[in-house]
Amino acid sequence: MRRILVAGNWKMNTGRAEAIELASGLVEQHGTAGPVDVMIAPPFVWLDTIAAVVRGSAVQLAAQNAWCEPSGAFTGEVSAEMVAGVGCGWVILGHSERRQLLGDTDELVGRKVTAAFSAGLEVILCVGETREQREADETDVVLTRQLLAGLESVDAGVVDRLVVAYEPVWAIGTGLTATTVQAESAHAHLRNQLAVRYNSNVAEATRILYGGSVKPDNAADLMSQPNVDGALVGGASLSAESFLAIIEAASGA
């Protein structure tokens, strides 16, 4: 059985006090483990502080990115080892904003994924097509390419620490959401590709999250799909109320 995971990607949002308040609110409401796994990904600069807030609770902590080398002359970067050292169990890699705005190529994402696994982290690997690619009927091809490039050097021994997130670029922050049929189809495709790359056990065990304008009112529908194992939530994770409502919806899915 795959446990549902609801992850909040705060992106480059929250000031220090706001971050503490948001995390504290979640810990208050979701301090002990329930039927759904809950994770938050604050900006790097708050990770140390937020690690202290969530310590001992069921709220798990992720970084939004990490570099592909453990240390060295990479001004402005943060390594997976540093992320692990600050108390994160997880890192999000290959988010479309990094791919589109910040220079993450398929190849670089693959190197980051490998480095993150080496550092002992669990990884949320994001993949997703643009609107143009969907309209050109290239969705499956793009998803396959991004998935396989991300997992290029990842062997089956560590893949139990992998979560995949399907995030159609056209749905991120736009208020547009994939229909349940579109989401289920993409997730089923990704699961098939995991079976081809590894084996059917890996494919069956790996959680595949949906991301892209997930809100309290569409979360239950999306997560009721057989291959949708949770959500990666951006905008709606910035309010404890709406994030908790999504967790609540997920609990019934």
> How many residues in the shown chain lie near ligand PGA by CB under 6 A?
13
Three-class secondary structure of residue 251 per DSSP: helix
CB-based contacts of 187-195 (< 8 A; 24+ apart in sequence): 187/225, 187/227, 187/228, 188/227, 189/139, 189/140, 189/143, 189/144, 190/127, 190/143, 190/147, 190/164, 190/166, 190/227, 191/227, 193/143, 193/144, 193/147, 193/148, 194/147, 194/164
By CB under 6 A, name the one of 150, 168, 212, 230 that touches ligand PGA: 212
**Which one of the spans 50-58, 195-203, 212-220, 239-247 is the region binding ligand PGA (CB under 6 A)?**
212-220
- State yes or no: residue 110 binds ligand PGA (CB under 6 A): no
Angle at which helices 216-223 and 180-197 pack, to 10 degrees? Answer: 50
Question: Closer to ligand PGA at the Cβ: 81 or 93?
Answer: 93
**Which one of the spans 52-60, 103-111, 221-229, 233-241 is the region binding ligand PGA (CB under 6 A)?**
233-241
Q: 184: which 2 tokens?
A: 């289920």
- In whole angstroms, how large is the CA radius of gyration of the chain? 17
Is residue 30 annotated as part of the catalytic site, yes or no? no
Give the contact letters, 4-43, x = binds to ligand PGA (CB under 6 A), - = no.
Answer: -----x----------------------------------
By CB under 6 A, name the one of 172, 183, 244, 249 that touches ligand PGA: 172
- State yes or no: residue 163 binds ligand PGA (CB under 6 A): no
Residues catalogued as catalytic: 95, 167
Which positions touch ligand PGA (CB under 6 A)? 9, 167, 172-173, 211-214, 232-236
